[in-house]
Structure 1
Amino acid sequence: MIATLNKSKTALSINKQDFKAALTKIGAAIDKQIAALKKNKQSYDASEMAREVIVEANIFETIIEGVNEAENTNLKLVDITNLESAQEWIDEFLEKYSEK
């Protein structure tokens, strides 16, 4: 489970291990795309590709929507208790691609 709902169903905590595993899967897909571009000798910006994927995925909004639907709650982004930490995990992920 990528997030844990508290007992009163008023707050959500992103699970670090599962969240980072999801980012790893996203990274693998980006790496495949980069490999294909390299093979075809096409130009690319790894950093921009990674940022676009993260933005398009709307990761936190998707998590909130999934929990709301599954648990019949009405949580919002501000109800993620460790949002700042989770954003740092995304920043670490994006940093890897800024070095490529």
Structure 2
Amino acid sequence: MIATLNKSKTALTINRQEFKLALGKIGAGIDKQIASLKKAKQSYDAAEMAREVVSEANIFEAIIEGFNEAEETSLKLTDITNLELAQGWIEDFLEKYKDI
């Protein structure tokens, strides 16, 4: 499970290991796209591609929406207890594409 809902159903905690696995899957897709562009000798900005994919995915909003639907809660982004830490994991992920 990518996040854990607390017993009172008022807060979520992002699971580091599961979240990083999800980012890894996103990264695999980006890597395939980069490989295709390289093969076709087309120009690309890997860092911009990664930022765009992450922003389009709306990862945290999707997590909140999923829990709200499944658990009949009305959580908001501010209800993620380790949101800053998880955002740091995304920044670490994006750093990987900075110099490609």
What TM-score, normalized to structure 1? Answer: 0.99
How many residues are paired up? 100
Distance 1:60 1:36 in 2: 29
Structure 2 residue runs of 5 or longer lacking an equivalent are: none
Distance 2:50 2:67 in 1: 25
Q: What is the CA distance between 1:48 and its match in structure 2?
A: 0.1
Structure 1 residue runs of 5 or longer lacking an equivalent are: none
Q: What is the CA distance between 1:99 and its match in structure 2?
A: 1.8
Equivalent position of 1:79 in the other structure: 79
Runs of 4+ in 1 over 2 A off after TM superposition: none
Matched, 1:6 2:6: yes
How big is each residue's C-alpha offset from its partner over 1:17-74, in whole Å with a ceiling of 9 and x where there is no partner?
0000000000000000000000000000000000000000000000000000000000
What TM-score, normalized to structure 2? Answer: 0.99
RMSD over aligned CA atoms reads 0.3
Equivalent position of 2:15 in the other structure: 15
2:13 maps to amino acid: S
